[in-house]
Amino acid sequence: MKFYSTLVLFLGLQVLSAQNSGKIVFSEEWDRAFRNWSYKESHTWELVFNDTIAICRWIKPEEDDRSIGAVQVYRWQRDVEDIYVTHIPERKVEDAVDFMRKMFQVDGDFPNYRWKMTGKQGLVEEFPCMEAMTIDGQDTIYAWFSPRMQLPIGPREFRGLPGAVLYLEADGGNRKISIESIDLSYELKASDVDFSRPKGKSTTYEEFIPFRREKMQEMRDMYGR
């Protein structure tokens, strides 16, 4: 993934074309640290989409040797069942989210992150992007999205902006989600949309996000941060 931190000003930024289908593979790296406990999360996510639906799934590594050496991978990091489904015209979601080893079925509207434009512009890979930011509890999240791809999609739950989210940074820079590969000639197959969600507690993001913030704060209070 080539992310250019040097900002490029695009005067009169124009939408070059509407992208109606494709596949993006994202790499997520998260260095998590508490008082006496630290570990590294490393995940790969595949996002396939057209102009009506987007599905983001976790990709299991072909060879999982990450428990060898300095990086320890906990059992709950090996088989992630999360799936994030965006029904684009309706602007609705149909997600399954694993949080603290409990599965939640999240339906309804996009997460209400109250994104604000920072005014920064730049390139993610070859795509002109704009930066938006939001506050989630104690965390500041920065998302770079491309108006060139006029779909409110992105990795995991990070959607709803006026363009595809192509890069995300959070947790003071310790968490990064970046492009590993992108194929804008990809067309969805029947197998892509043939999905079933793991069973879990039914909720909405309006309820789930405050619940998650509360539990994360309890963890910080217990382990220190």
The C-alpha atoms of residue 61 and residue 42 are separated, in whole angstroms, by 10
Asked, for residue 132, whether it belongs to a domain, the answer is yes
Q: What percent of the chain has pLDDT over 70?
A: 82
Asked, for residue 10, whether it belongs to a domain, the answer is no
Q: What is residue 222's predicted lDDT score, i.e. its pLDDT?
A: 77
Q: What is residue 64's predicted lDDT score, i.e. its pLDDT?
A: 55
Q: What is the tens place of the pLDDT at every residue in 73-111? A: 544 456 788 999 999 999 999 999 999 889 999 999 999
Asked, for residue 200, whether it belongs to a domain, the answer is yes
Q: What is residue 220's predicted lDDT score, i.e. its pLDDT?
A: 76
For residue 28, list its beta bridge partners.
43, 177
The C-alpha atoms of residue 15 and residue 147 are separated, in whole angstroms, by 6
Q: What is residue 217's predicted lDDT score, i.e. its pLDDT?
A: 84
Asked, for residue 1, whether it belongs to a domain, the answer is no
Cα torsion through 128, 137, 47, 66, rounded to 10: 110
Tokens of 64: 């999982």
Measured in residues, the chain has a length of 225
Q: What is the mean pLDDT of residues 146-152?
A: 93
- The domain total for the chain is 1
Q: Do 120 and 127 meet the contact criterion of CB atoms below 8 Å apart?
A: no
The C-alpha atoms of residue 171 and residue 184 are separated, in whole angstroms, by 30
pLDDT surpasses 80 at 68: no
Asked, for residue 39, whether it belongs to a domain, the answer is yes
What's the CATH number where 74 sits?
A: 2.50.20
Asked, for residue 141, whether it belongs to a domain, the answer is yes
Domain enclosing residue 53, as ranges: 21-223
The C-alpha atoms of residue 203 and residue 61 are separated, in whole angstroms, by 30
Q: What is the tens place of the pLDDT at every residue in 171-207? A: 999 999 999 999 999 999 999 988 888 999 999 999 9
Asked, for residue 75, whether it belongs to a domain, the answer is yes
For the beta carbon of residue 125, count every other beta carbon within 10 angstroms: 16
